[in-house]
Every structure is written in structure tokens, then in C-alpha cells.
């Protein structure tokens, strides 16, 4: 019988087969072990990555916590600042309200003052106007002497009989209010008849003065007198000058004479 290593061939084959099987098992186990080792290595690497990620997350959380703390502190600062602003605004509103009340009182006082000044100005204007009327009455020769010979200053009452005969009561009363009534012969027209000047005196002559002079001169003309509408003053508005020139009204302004020839020609025809 054939022998192998002191074993029969059959036994040798059996032992060899067994050894082969065990080696195969060992190789399988080795491959599995290697896979496990590699898997373990990957797991550990993953764990390290997760740990690093966790560390980064924790650092980020700490940063966020710090930022949150700063934000909360900033919010508190803003809240305090807002409270101070609202307090200042409240004080400012109170101050503005007091100023508005003071302004209202000032405006009311100003309006009262304006009224007082207006009354004073009107009073002063009336006094000055009355003084100017008296000046023209007292110095009529100086103002009208260069225009008229045998000049006289009269009151409408002195010729009331003639006036009332030709005028209505309203026209007569209006004529009594004329500032000045002057009569005389034109100085440089020897053959000219007597003329009458219905004079309205104002510090500043305006259109209404021209209208009154024309109206009262018309009343005198209706009574049969050669009346010339006349206005006199220290100054005159542009409208008054235009009206006087258009309607041939004699104007005396601060010692100067305007439209005398035109007014005289108009009344003498």
C-alpha cells in the first residue's frame, strides 16, 4: 500500500482536503477581517469628521451666542435711546405748544396794535388834512393869487339863496361840504368873467378827491356859476393825475399848478 508521510494515500487525501478547507475558511475570515478593519477605519475617519463638524458647530453656536448677546445689548441701548428720544419729544411738544400759545397771544396783541396804529394814522391823516385845509384857507392868496385877480374865499352859505334855488337838498348839502370855495377873475384874461374854484384838499390827492371836485363844480355850474373843479395837496396818486388831466381839473400840488389853462378853457367854452 502506498504511503504519504507515514499516512495512507486515502488518509493523506482526507487530511489534505481538510487542510484545504480550513485554509479556505481562514482566507475568507481574513478577507472579512480586512473588510472589517477597513470599515472600522472609515468609521473612525467619519467619526473624526463628525467630531470636527461638531466642534465647528459648537464654535459657531458660541459665535452666534456672542452675537445674540451683542444684539440684545444693542436692542437695550436702542430702547433706552428711544425712551430718551420720546422724553425729549414730549418736552419739545410741550415747548412748541407753549410757543404756539405765546405766538397766538403775540399775534392778537399785534392785531390790536395794528388797529391802534391804524386809528392813529387815520387820526393823524385827518388832522394833517384839516391842517392843510386851514393852510389853503389862510394862504389862499399865495396859492390862488397867481391865477385870479380880486380873489375871495367864500363859504357856500354866503350864496345859499342862489344855490338852493337851483339845487336839490341833497346837492346843496353835498356842496356845503366843499373844502374851499374861491372866486376871482382870471389874472391874465382882462375880459374874462368871474370864475369859481370848487377846491378839494387832501394831503395825497386821489381819484375820489377828483370825483368830488367835479361833482361839486357841476352843482355850482347848475346854479349858474362858472365853476372849475380843483384839487390841492402835497402829492397826488397817478390815478388822480390821469383823471385830472382827462377831465380838465385844476390841480395844485406842493406849490405847483397843473392843467389851469385846460380847465379855464373848458369852463369858458
- Tell me the per-residue pLDDT of 56-108, one tens digit each, with 9 for 90 and over: 877 887 887 788 888 788 868 888 888 888 888 888 888 888 988 888 888 88
Q: Pull the grid cell for residue 17.
A: 482536503
pTM beyond 0.85: no
* Mean pLDDT value across residues 242-258: 94
Quickly name the fold that domain 139-268 has.
Trna Endonuclease; Chain: A, domain 1 (3.40.1350)
The HSE-up count of residue 164 (CA atoms within 13 Å, CB side) is 7
C-alpha span between 160 and 180 (Å, rounded): 15
Read off the pLDDT band of 6 (50, 70, 90): low
Read off the pLDDT band of 48 (50, 70, 90): confident
- The predicted-structure confidence for 163-217, as pLDDT tens digits, reads as follows 999 999 999 999 999 999 999 999 988 889 999 999 999 999 999 999 999 999 9
Mean pLDDT score of the chain: 86
Q: Which residues contact 157 (CB under 8 A, 6 or more apart)?
A: 176
Higher pLDDT, 59 or 266: 266
C-alpha span between 86 and 80 (Å, rounded): 10
Backbone angles phi, psi at 220, to 5 degrees: -65, -40
Positive or negative: CA dihedral 65, 67, 72, 73: positive
* Domain locations in the chain as residue ranges: 1-127, 139-268
Amino acid at each position: 500500500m502506498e504511503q504519504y508521510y507515514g499516512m495512507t494515500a486515502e488518509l493523506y487525501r482526507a487530511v489534505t482536503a481538510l487542510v484545504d478547507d480550513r485554509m479556505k475558511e481562514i482566507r475568507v475570515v481574513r478577507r472579512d477581517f480586512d473588510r472589517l478593519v477597513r470599515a472600522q477605519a472609515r468609521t473612525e475617519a467619519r467619526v473624526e469628521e463628525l467630531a470636527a463638524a461638531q466642534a465647528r458647530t459648537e464654535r459657531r453656536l458660541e459665535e452666534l451666542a456672542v452675537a445674540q448677546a451683542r444684539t440684545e445689548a444693542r436692542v437695550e441701548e436702542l430702547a433706552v435711546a428711544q425712551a430718551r428720544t420720546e422724553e425729549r419729544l414730549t418736552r419739545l411738544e410741550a415747548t412748541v405748544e407753549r410757543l404756539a400759545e405765546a405766538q397766538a397771544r403775540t399775534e392778537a396783541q399785534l392785531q390790536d396794535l395794528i388797529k391802534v396804529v391804524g386809528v392813529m394814522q387815520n387820526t393823524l391823516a385827518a388832522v394833517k388834512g384839516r391842517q392843510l385845509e386851514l393852510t389853503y384857507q389862510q394862504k389862499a392868496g399865495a396859492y390862488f393869487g397867481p391865477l385870479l385877480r380880486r380873489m375871495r374865499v367864500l363859504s357856500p352859505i354866503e350864496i345859499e339863496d342862489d344855490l338852493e334855488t337851483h339845487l336839490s337838498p341833497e346837492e346843496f348839502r353835498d356842496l356845503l361840504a366843499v373844502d374851499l370855495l374861491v372866486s376871482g377873475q382870471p389874472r391874465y384874461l382882462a375880459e374874462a368873467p368871474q370864475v369859481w374854484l370848487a377846491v378839494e384838499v387832501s394831503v395825497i390827492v386821489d381819484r375820489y378827491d377828483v370825483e368830488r371836485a367835479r361833482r361839486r363844480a357841476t352843482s355850482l355850474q347848475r346854479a349858474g356859476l362858472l365853476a372849475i373843479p380843483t384839487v390841492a395837496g402835497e402829492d397826488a396818486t397817478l390815478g388822480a393825475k390821469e383823471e385830472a388831466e382827462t377831465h380838465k381839473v385844476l390841480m395844485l400840488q406842493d406849490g405847483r399848478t397843473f392843467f389851469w389853462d385846460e380847465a379855464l378853457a373848458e369852463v369858458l367854452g
